[in-house]
């Protein structure tokens, strides 16, 4: 083998390894619950810290609880209470909604991939 052969072999190996480096997973942001009203961010709550927080809005009160990496609405003074019956959420992309108070709680971060079925 000549000197030029080694250069070509090194280039081929580098080109073979480069795509593998691009596929390495990136560090993801920690999971958090974004609490919004009318699209305006009220608070970003990390899912790795248990807490209970009350949001006093112009239309009423919602109490959001984070426990064991899940988030749920445990109290709301809206007429139907559907947001409390939605149960806890824990995956990126899941959302809780209180329509009468125009409040949303969405999980972002950690794993940005959302489960989906394609046909």
- Pick the residue with more confidence: 94 or 114? 94
Residue 117 pLDDT = 47
Is residue 66 assigned to a domain?
yes
Is residue 40 assigned to a domain?
yes
Whether the full predicted model's pTM is greater than 0.85, yes or no, is: no
pLDDT, average across residues 61-81: 93
- Among 26, 72, 38, 68, residue whose Cα is nearest residue 53: 72
Is residue 117 assigned to a domain?
no
Is residue 16 assigned to a domain?
no
Show the domain range for 83: 32-108
Residue 38 sits in a domain whose CATH number is: 2.60.320.10
Q: Residues 113, 41, 45, 94: what is their CA dihedral angle, to the nearest 10 degrees?
A: -30
Is residue 19 assigned to a domain?
no
Specify whether the CB–CB gap between 91 and 23 falls below 8 A.
no
Q: How many domains does the chain have?
A: 1
Residue 75: CB atoms within 10 Å: 14
Is residue 116 assigned to a domain?
no
Specify whether the CB–CB gap between 96 and 83 falls below 8 A.
yes
């Amino acid at each position: 083998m000549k000197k030029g052969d080694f250069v070509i072999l090194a280039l081929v190996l580098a080109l073979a390894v480069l795509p593998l480096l691009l596929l390495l997973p990136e560090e993801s942001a920690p999971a958090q619950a974004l609490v919004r009203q009318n699209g305006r961010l009220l608070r970003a709550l990390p899912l790795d810290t248990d807490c209970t927080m009350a949001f006093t809005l112009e239309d009423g009160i919602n109490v959001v609880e984070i426990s064991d990496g899940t988030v749920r609405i445990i109290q709301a003074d809206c007429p139907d209470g559907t947001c409390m019956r939605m149960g806890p959420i824990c995956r990126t992309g899941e959302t809780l909604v209180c329509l009468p108070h125009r409040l949303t709680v969405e999980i972002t971060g950690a794993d940005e991939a959302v489960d989906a079925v394609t046909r």
